[in-house]
Amino acid sequence: LPGLFTAGIFSASLSTVSSCVNSLAAVTVEDYLKPLLPSIKATGSTALTKSLVLLYGLACLGVGFLAQYIGGLLQAGLSIMGIAGGPLLGTFTLGMFLPAANEPGALAGILSGIISSAWIGFGQPKPKPTPLPLSTASCLNMTTALPTTVPTHVHFPYMYRLSYLLYVVIGCCITLVVGCLVSRLAVSLGYRSPHSVSPDLLTPIVAKCLREPHSTNDVELQQTMLKEPLETKKLVED
């Protein structure tokens, strides 16, 4: 029974990890490498994808070795999800709420968010979580006050004393701030996005604010176009 249980865990984890690794490699090749290498052939693209699968697999193994520095299973899972999910949330929020955001800003924001969150999550030295006392000895009628010492974590760096539940917030905020600043800097340096922002890709409140000036201009243009034939017709009749 223990062997069957272990085999089930390994099969489930390997199937999930393999699909994620293949998806990462495919997205990297299609969205990032093919625009840089437009003349690449199918065989070269396949070889590049397989190489990226190997690299991402080695990265997953490295994260497995780093997991020993995180803590328990729940803390490790939430830490990894926070390190990866916080910057991703910040990138989507940046794109939905800020029409002025552009590609350099989004890329710089998500990279800085991931690096900062990973530095806080995997950095050392970290204080070990103190387990709560579970003993029930002398709990019936024990009124004697005993001196106790509470361990302090002040000597640890402040960033490493943050809770792993805050990694999402930290990654999201860093991504938003860096994304806004880099987008503004890119525009001031002359960067122009090759694609116009569609209001359908923004949150409804921001999209409504963008549509109102365009809709007003469209109505004025339609009224002008309707007036011109009438004025021309009157001139012809006169």
**Do 82 and 190 lie in a common domain?**
yes
Give the C-alpha separation, 127 to 71, whole Å: 10
The pLDDT of residue 87: 93
The pLDDT of residue 191: 81
**Do 75 and 163 lie in a common domain?**
yes
| Residue 172 belongs to domain spanning | 70-125+157-197
**Do 54 and 104 lie in a common domain?**
no
Give the C-alpha separation, 189 to 116, whole Å: 26
Has residue 192 been placed in a domain? Answer: yes
**Do 19 and 119 lie in a common domain?**
no
Segments of the chain scoring below 50 in pLDDT: 215-219, 221
55-103 pLDDT tens trace: 998 988 887 777 666 667 677 778 888 888 999 999 999 988 888 888 8
Has residue 202 been placed in a domain? Answer: no
Query: What predicted TM-score, i.e. pTM, was given to this entire model?
Result: 0.58
Residue type, 154: V
**Do 92 and 168 lie in a common domain?**
yes
Give helix then strand counts, H and E, for the chain: 7, 0
**Do 188 and 107 lie in a common domain?**
yes
The pLDDT of residue 228: 56
**Do 88 and 191 lie in a common domain?**
yes
The pLDDT of residue 90: 93
**Do 64 and 75 lie in a common domain?**
no
**Do 168 and 180 lie in a common domain?**
yes
**Do 93 and 163 lie in a common domain?**
yes
**Do 52 and 74 lie in a common domain?**
no
**Helix or strand or coil: residue 135?**
coil
